[in-house]
Amino acid sequence: MVRAIPSQNDKFLKAPELIMSTLSVPRAHAAAVSACAILSVTNPLEESGKVGDSLVRLRLLTASKDQRVKLWDIKVDSSMPGVEGVDVEKVTSTHTQVADISSMAVLERETQDPRHRVLLCGVGMEVLVVER
């Protein structure tokens, strides 16, 4: 029988407590989401020259089994508890010819090109070009 003996260093081995919340977005997709990719992460306060790190903006692309691809603008204010500081807005929605999308990847882009290229994979492949 093996028995653990607590030591004074155990306080350093404990994982931080995680508090999880669920945010449900009504009618986000009609079918199950099968792939997603983060296109960009920015801090709007830094862009405007103001100091602050509690606000983050994400551009997220999601794909579902019904061949819909949607672009989302997500703002997260980490100074607010739970999902209260999360704002999700659908930017656009489009149809793809790729059936049964299983994955997507953001392709490397030219430094001068403001567009994102995203490879969709499933029964076939397609490259989507997403404007900023």
**60-106 pLDDT, tens per residue?**
999 999 999 999 999 998 888 878 889 999 999 999 999 999 999 99
| pLDDT: which is higher, 61 or 52 | 61
Look at residues 108, 130, 109 and name the one whose alpha carbon lies nearest to residue 63. Answer: 130
Q: What is the DSSP string of the chain?
A: -------GGGGGTPPPP--------TTS-SS-EEEEEEEEEE-HHHHTT---SSEEEEEEEEEETTSEEEEEEEEEETTS-TTTTEEEEEEEEEE-S-EEEEEEEEEP--TT---EEEEEEEEEEEEEEE--
Say if residue 45's pLDDT is above 60.
yes
Please tell me the predicted confidence (pLDDT) of residue 83: 84
Say if residue 122's pLDDT is above 90.
yes
pLDDT confidence band for 2 (50 / 70 / 90): very low
**Mean local confidence (pLDDT), 100-124:** 90
Radius of gyration of the chain (CA): 20
pTM: 0.76
Average pLDDT, the chain: 83
Say if residue 18's pLDDT is above 50.
yes
Look at residues 89, 91, 57 and name the one whose alpha carbon lies nearest to residue 71. Answer: 91
Say if residue 6's pLDDT is above 50.
yes
**Mean local confidence (pLDDT), 18-42:** 86
Say if residue 1's pLDDT is above 60.
no
